[in-house]
């Protein structure tokens, strides 16, 4: 470890997507220093081998700064596309009839191939077909096993292989394609911390990915389909984290419905103790401009006031002209919102009722004790990360210092609100736990001499899910004596 950066003062996390504008080690380090807490690798672009040096650069940076750093691999998912046209494109006119069929012959103004037999089995009269990110809208009038007859409601230019969305029915397609399975296996072998699954429509879609991951990464469900909203709580129950994929939601649903859905997804995820990421077009203008619009700043602030665990940059940091400035702006917005005296009340507008468990009761108590005693931090000992997730769910006013003997756990916590994770040796006794907590609080700048901190752990130690100890201690300031090289 060559240098260390103090824990972030803000509690919301920043997830930055890496890409052509941000894939070299120097830029990745610059994004981290600007405020990125976690990095997203989009498996939709480039081949697998191009991701290897990016992952290695993140891990080298992690060693350099002495902080476990989170890597999320985002799988592409199924892509529904129309076939090709004789002349490369056509112009659809409102009111005309247009047919999708199984014939691979290049299409014309009357028809085109739709190479997805699952849609023919699921489609119903009246359902919408959205083309080219929703720019064109067609309604189904009739169908059989080989043809879907539609009427054009919103016309426009349609060219080869444009994308298709089917928002009104559940398409019986697996969430994982062969490419996704290969990418997932590769990502897990490379040691990424989170796998993001696209095209989730029902909780069953998560099962295959969970089986392939085999516990070697956390699983994040991207909520981007209307069908997923109908079974939201079941999906959240089956995953480790959630992403509000607003871009695709905004294509398949009227855009005015996306803001209330965002609030609902965040609320459900928080209530069920899953970290939730708000994503897509957050600072879109910063792809080309060094500063965002005021509306974009308000959009980011709203997600933070709602209590989202993380806010995400996509093309802004992956392919834009101002990647470090985009991250720095996210960081600045987070700090400004959390300094607002009303921030705490807004974050707690969503009532979090604890589950009837000892661990949940203690997490709720820790938040109250911190407020009453003016403690400066809550310190969690955890193996699996479950104690930290329970405490973060309560959104306490103080930082959460997480001490874990598992590097994998420390890395996965980079998407969790308010946490600063430290990979450290395990403890054997209650006394050792207290002493180490004090030292780590001082070493990482979480507390200083005279401060009180709250400790949470499970006894017996090394037993995941056994949180049953809540302890308040005061620091004297000399706890680091003779411990200069401690891990």
| Annotated active-site residue in 51, 67, 222, 390 | 222
- Reported in sequence order, the residue ranges of 276-383 that DSSP labels E, i.e. its strands, are 276-279, 310-313, 377-381
Catalytic, 222? Answer: yes
Q: And the tokens for 321?
A: 């002209």
Distance CA 407, CA 391 (A): 20
Query: What sections of 66-160 are H helices per DSSP?
Result: 117-122
Q: What is the DSSP letter of 90?
A: E
Residue 393, CA distances (Å) to 35, 96, 133, 449, 468 in order: 22, 52, 35, 28, 17
Spatial CA neighbour of 312 closest among 194, 446, 180: 194
Distance CA 199, CA 176 (A): 8
Q: Is the dihedral of CA 260, 263, 268, 269 positive or negative?
A: positive
Catalytic, 81? Answer: yes
CB 198 within 8 Å of CB 175: yes
| Annotated active-site residue in 59, 64, 79, 81 | 81
- DSSP letter string, 206-253: HHHHHHHHTTSSEEEEEE-SHHHHHTHHHHHHHSSEEEEEHHHHHHHS
| Annotated active-site residue in 280, 383, 404, 419 | 280
Q: Which positions ≥6 away from 432 have C-beta within 8 Å?
A: none
Distance CA 361, CA 394 (A): 11
| Annotated active-site residue in 10, 11, 40, 393 | 40
Catalytic, 382? Answer: no
CB 390 within 8 Å of CB 359: yes
Catalytic, 40? Answer: yes
Q: And the tokens for 238?
A: 């089956």
- Which positions are annotated as active-site residues? 40, 81, 222, 280
């Amino acid at each position: 470890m060559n240098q260390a950066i103090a824990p972030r003062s803000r509690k919301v996390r920043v997830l930055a997507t890496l890409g052509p504008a941000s894939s070299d080690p120097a830029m990745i380090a610059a994004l981290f220093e600007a405020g990125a807490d976690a990095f997203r690798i989009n498996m939709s672009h480039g081949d697998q081998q191009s991701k290897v040096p990016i992952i290695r650069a993140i891990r080298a940076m992690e060693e350099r700064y002495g902080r476990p750093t989170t890597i999320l691999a985002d799988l592409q998912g199924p892509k529904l596309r129309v076939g090709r046209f004789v002349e490369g494109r056509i112009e659809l006119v409102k009111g005309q009839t247009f047919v999708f069929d199984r014939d691979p012959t290049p299409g014309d103004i009357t028809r085109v191939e739709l190479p997805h037999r699952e849609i023919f089995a699921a489609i119903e009269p009246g359902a919408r077909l959205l083309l080219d990110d929703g720019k064109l809208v067609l309604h189904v009038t009739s169908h059989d096993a080989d043809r879907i007859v539609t009427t054009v409601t919103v016309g426009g230019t349609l060219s080869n292989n444009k994308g298709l969305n089917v928002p009104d029915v559940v398409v019986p397609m697996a969430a994982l394609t062969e490419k996704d399975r290969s990418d997932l296996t590769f990502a897990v072998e490379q040691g990424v911390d989170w796998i993001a699954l696209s095209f989730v429509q029902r909780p069953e879609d998560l099962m295959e990915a969970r089986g392939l991951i085999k516990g070697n990464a956390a699983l994040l469900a991207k909520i981007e389909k209307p069908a997923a909203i109908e079974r939201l709580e079941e999906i959240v129950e089956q995953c480790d984290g959630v992403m509000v994929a607003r871009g695709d939601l905004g294509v398949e649903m009227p855009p005015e419905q996306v803001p209330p859905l965002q609030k609902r997804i965040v609320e459900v995820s928080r209530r069920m103790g899953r970290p939730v990421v708000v994503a897509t077009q957050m600072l879109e203008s910063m792809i080309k401009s060094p500063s965002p619009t005021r509306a974009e700043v308000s959009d980011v602030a709203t997600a933070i006031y709602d209590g989202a665990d993380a806010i995400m940059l996509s093309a802004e940091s992956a392919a834009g002209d101002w990647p470090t400035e985009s991250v720095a702006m996210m960081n600045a917005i987070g700090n400004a919102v959390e300094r607002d005296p009303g921030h705490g009340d807004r974050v707690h507008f969503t009532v979090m009722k604890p589950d009837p468990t000892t661990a949940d009761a203690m997490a709720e108590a820790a938040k109250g004790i911190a407020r009453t005693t003016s403690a400066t931090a809550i310190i969690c000992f955890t193996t699996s990360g479950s104690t930290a997730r329970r405490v973060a769910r309560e959104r306490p006013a103080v930082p959460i210092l997480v001490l874990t003997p598992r590097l994998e756990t420390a890395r996965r916590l980079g998407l969790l609100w308010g946490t600063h994770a430290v990979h450290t040796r395990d403890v054997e006794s209650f006394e050792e736990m207290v002493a180490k907590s004090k030292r780590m609080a001082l070493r990482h700048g979480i507390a200083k001499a005279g401060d009180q901190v709250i400790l949470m752990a499970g006894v017996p130690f090394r037993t995941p899910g056994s949180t049953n100890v809540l302890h308040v201690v005061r620091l004297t300031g000399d706890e680091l004596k003779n411990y200069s090289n401690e891990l």
